[in-house]
Amino acid sequence: MAAITTITTMTMTTTTDPKPLLHLLAWLSPAFPTGGFAYSHGLEWAVEAGDIQDRETLRHWLTDILAHGSARSDTILLRHAHRSATDPAALTQIVSLATASAPARERRDEALNQGRAFQLAVAAWTTTMLPADAPYCVAVGAAAASRNIPEDATAAAYLQAFATNLISAAVRLVPLGQTAGLQVLAALEPIILATANETKTATLDDIGGCAFRSDLAAMRHETQYTRLFRS
């Protein structure tokens, strides 16, 4: 009589703590009180000048900022703030560098005002070792580290939120339909992921870019006659 062998298969499920994800979703939500809705990052001037007229021109504009402009530099600063979250001296240096690298007064005010608002709001979850006048990207990086939110996830989410805020501004300014705005956001996913990945090994010496038209838009917006946005 043949022996019968019974094989038992065990399935193991690993549970990941969802709290860091919840924190990240809350902090980078459009509803979080950082005042992001009030800033267009120079996009308002680009619309008036005719650089942005439709879905495709918006996509090209944002692609340049994400891959070669301020969004890339901000992500490098965010990553280094994340790594230096427990080192007040290093954070102070990063804050100084981030503030000094703003190419226009309105761009600087945008970063500092949102940074202050973020630090006030995030105090419900955590406190950081940052000066009060820390640019937004630095404040996000340090706060994420303090709550054990992974650096890579924070970088990708920051870039996604950056793109979403500017698409929201364009929907109102161009104007674009909501569907067109979502199509642009979907098309930007490869750029967002590529920039998040490329900044992993970037040093603070790699800050800078070549999205000159965006920087000029930030300067020109300061004297734009009719404005809905603060930058």
Q: What pLDDT, in 10s, does the model give residues 186-200?
A: 999 999 999 999 999
Query: What is the model's pTM?
Result: 0.92
CA distance 137 to 114: 9
Peptide bond into 190 cis (omega under 30): no
Q: At what angle do helices 19-27 and 105-122 cross, to 10 degrees?
A: 140
Phi/psi at 72 (5° precision) = -65, -50
Average pLDDT over residues 52-62: 98
CA distance 64 to 78: 19
CA distance 100 to 208: 12
Instruction: Note the pLDDT of residue 10.
Output: 40
User: Yes or no: is domain 37-221 CATH 3.50.50.60?
Assistant: no
Contact (CB, 8 A) for 157 and 82 = no
Q: By percentage, how much of the chain surpasses pLDDT 90?
A: 85
Instruction: Note the pLDDT of residue 37.
Output: 92
When pLDDT is cut at 50, 70 and 90, the band that residue 15 belongs to is very low
Structural domain boundaries of the chain? 37-221
